[in-house]
Amino acid sequence: MALKFLKPAVAVVTGAVAGAVLLLTAVPASAANPPYDGCPAWALCLYQNGGGTGSKAIVVPPAAGGNTEIVRLTKVHFLNGDLANDQVSSWVNNSQCQIEFWDDPYGELHPSQVDFASSWQWGAKADYDASSSHYYLNDRISALRFYCP
């Protein structure tokens, strides 16, 4: 009779030990995130490094319905605490909004639009690192203009 209860208990203990061994011998995960990782739906993510790497800043656009909003990157920080102004090297747009990217050193939008993302183009990306043909735009974005249909 005691053997009926002993077999399941031995199986549980054996399984727990095997699981602990696997857990302790598993190869540690890489510290770096995959490119363009972790950008939620309905957001624009700005990345500090090219190729959607490095720290990111998550910018939530205005609600849909024809709203226009200007966001100055002098008030936006990457998750590592660095200011996003003139530090953006890549981005991904997971919103439905049209976005204009501006080089805006004086705090007024003047004719220096440096990039554009069309509305309804989820997952649109841009990269300004040294290997990109748009490398000259690296670290120039300082304001965003959203139009959300």
**The domain defined by 44-148 carries CATH number 3.40.50.300:** no
pLDDT digits (tens, 9 = 90+) for 49-104: 999 999 999 999 998 888 889 999 999 999 999 999 999 999 999 999 999 999 98
What SS3 state is found at 19?
A: helix
Mean pLDDT, rounded, for 126-143: 87
Mean pLDDT, rounded, for 112-127: 94
Q: Please say if the pLDDT value at position 38 is more than 80.
A: yes
- At residue 127, the pLDDT reads 94
- At residue 132, the pLDDT reads 82
Strands (DSSP E) contained in 10-97 are 44-49, 53-59, 67-72, 90-93
